[in-house]
Amino acid sequence: MLTIGDLSKTTGVKVPTIRYYEQAGLLSHSERSEGNQRRYSRSERERLSFIKHARELGLTIDAIRELIDLSTHPEKPCGQADRIAAEQLAAVREKIARLKKLEAELERISSHCHTNQVRDCYVIQALANHELCTSEHD
């Protein structure tokens, strides 16, 4: 059994985050020792590692909750898990496309600045006047 501090060290998840995951229902409330310290089992450590990895991939708490529920039914088909992963992939690709637009616009406005004085700085002008931008990038 691990204390919450040991669990934090072994997984790299901060203690407040572990408590949050407990409150969100992603991680079961741990057993308590006679001294009222939380104690976590190997399976809870594995669950926390699963949650951490899912969060690193950008999955939402709701998606993780759904995946955890699916994992408790190993006989079910994995179509729902595939759907969740595909939805996240689409969201990541959309973010990448937005970031590429931002990159292009920032590159464009930073390359137009050829003065040494702020009053003539194209970066400042472009930020002050959205019409100087070549594309939407919200």
Give tens-digit pLDDT for 47-95: 999 999 999 999 999 999 999 999 999 999 999 999 999 999 999 999 9
What does pTM read for this prediction?
0.77
Tell me if 76 sits within 8 A of 70, measured CB to CB: yes
Question: Does residue 125 register a pLDDT over 70?
Answer: yes
pLDDT at 127: 84
Phi, psi dihedral angles at 85 (to 5 degrees):
-65, -40
Which tokens hold the place of 59?
Answer: 């999955």
Report CA-CA distances (Å) from 19 to 54, 76, 98, 102: 17, 30, 34, 36
